[in-house]
Structure 1
């Protein structure tokens, strides 16, 4: 079967759910089966009905979900409220025509949704270093027809250069920067400072930013806030805190000293706003 980064990959709609698959997905949407504990089982059942990805609409965008080996793609496929609190927070603080930055964009479940919200006059910077995941992100952008999304195939780090990333287990979305011993499945990717990425994209202000880089958030943000002018600091931030034990510095505490306030917290993320944003 053609992969997302294969030029011969069938167009969006080629893997529309079969009637049986759609019945199972719909059952999950309206029941407790949409919860995380049940999603791997549902994914196996959907795959038994027809192996391969599934083409669906999610939050106003078109996605080809390779749900079998991606917790994020399973979540968005089976749960219509997946990350909804975070998405609503970002949409409420990002005006039409505004700018949204997605650090660790994965397959675009934030970037595509915010692009739909911002409209053609907006700008989304979607940053994803893993080549397989980036190819899926690019496919979803094309399928959704969102020309306002700028894709960056690089990791974000404290300096420009290269970093090693690796994936634990079979969850592609959990790819992370290698900070210790390098395993056999690690791959080398370009690394860019966030300031550099924004400069290259001609961004002069950021309405909202989401960052999920599996414990590397501090090395992305601490240097950025030291380097960037306050006019470039995002007004609203969603930051994953599940791996904060791996931070060398508490970047949330650093943001609080810079005028941000934590206005909410979900199981996975802390929601912050700057000043009266």
Structure 2
């Protein structure tokens, strides 16, 4: 369908009668016709690069999906990693329920899903959630107009004693898309002593979102370069983009 004003509204109306359907990337997913993020995942409007990176993992690899939403990338990884594992995090209870339903729809029994955020420090934090754009949900210290705020659990990765052993099993790709809290996730990896076990980080970079937490794109690049990672693209001026960081051999 060509791009035009109101395209997503029309797509949502056409999809509304469906309870679930096969996404453009293959896995079956619940349909949330009023949620832009859900429809974008179903139609493959974004994410081809990450899909390809997942498919480059060996069959016994590990994919860590932090900010998994309803699980399109976790599902792609679950199908590909026939001898591997997927670890998925999503703090929003409603979207997490969709994630679990989608795992069941696809018989994805190699996925460990946790209804929690990841960060440092851990604890009980507030999540601003949108009914029409679940991908825009973010941790916050204050109420956000037009969004529902609810308490959620945030885990420090040192609280998961199985994590180090899991990450040492094979090649590891970690996706981080947490609407500005990316640096806190990286700090949680470092505090748990497992940052060096990750081969590749695929991270959403958005200066506006990072500013919510007092950080910047430069901080992300500096943190990872100091830990032996090289950026594939380099610092850019785009409003929002995805960056691949690879650990030096």
TM-score interval, normalised by the smaller of the two chains: 0.7 to 0.9
Q: CA deviation at 1:171?
A: 1.2
Q: Which residue of 2 aligns with 1:78?
A: 43
Q: Which residue of 2 aligns with 1:236?
A: 200
Q: Distance in 2 between matches of 1:182 and 1:173?
A: 15
SS of the residue 1:164 aligns to = strand
SS of the residue 1:60 aligns to = coil
SS of the residue 2:174 aligns to = strand
Q: Distance in 2 between matches of 1:170 and 1:62?
A: 21
SS of the residue 2:175 aligns to = strand
Of residues 66, 74, 86, the one that matches 1:111 is 74
Q: Which residue of 1 aligns with 2:175?
A: 210
* 1:145-194 residue CA offsets vs partner (Å, 9 max, x unmatched): 11000010111121332111012462122111013457783111111113
Q: Which residue of 1 aligns with 2:8?
A: 40
Q: CA deviation at 1:199?
A: 2.9
Structure with greater Cα Rg: 1
**1:269 and 1:100, CA in 2 relative to 1: closer, same or farther beyond 3 A?**
same
Equivalence map 1:7-26=2 (5 Å): none
**1:76 and 1:230, CA in 2 relative to 1: closer, same or farther beyond 3 A?**
closer
Scaled by the length of structure 1, what TM-score is found?
A: 0.76
**1:173 and 1:182, CA in 2 relative to 1: closer, same or farther beyond 3 A?**
closer
SS of the residue 2:160 aligns to = helix
Q: Which residue of 2 aligns with 1:138?
A: 100
Of residues 225, 228, 249, the one that matches 2:190 is 225
Q: Which residue of 2 aligns with 1:162?
A: 124
Q: Distance in 2 between matches of 1:186 and 1:88?
A: 35
Structure 1, 217-226 or 192-201: larger mean CA deviation:
192-201
SS of the residue 1:112 aligns to = helix
SS of the residue 1:110 aligns to = helix
Contact in 2 for aligned 1:218/1:248 (Cα 8 Å): no
Of residues 233, 244, 247, the one that matches 1:271 is 244
Equivalence map 1:95-110=2 (5 Å): 95-110=58-73
Structure 1, 255-264 or 266-275: larger mean CA deviation:
266-275
Contact in 1 for aligned 2:20/2:30 (Cα 8 Å): yes
**1:222 and 1:140, CA in 2 relative to 1: closer, same or farther beyond 3 A?**
same
Contact in 2 for aligned 1:95/1:118 (Cα 8 Å): yes
Structure 1, 193-202 or 130-139: larger mean CA deviation:
193-202
Q: CA deviation at 1:58?
A: 4.0
**Where in structure 2 are there 5+ consecutive unaligned residues?**
none
Aligned residue-pair number: 237
Contact in 1 for aligned 2:13/2:33 (Cα 8 Å): no
**Where in structure 1 are there 5+ consecutive unaligned residues?**
1-27
Q: CA deviation at 1:38?
A: 5.7
Q: Which residue of 2 aligns with 1:175?
A: 137
Scaled by the length of structure 2, what TM-score is found?
A: 0.83
Q: Which residue of 1 aligns with 2:228?
A: 259
Q: Which residue of 2 aligns with 1:61?
A: 27
SS of the residue 1:141 aligns to = helix
Q: Distance in 2 between matches of 1:201 and 1:131?
A: 26
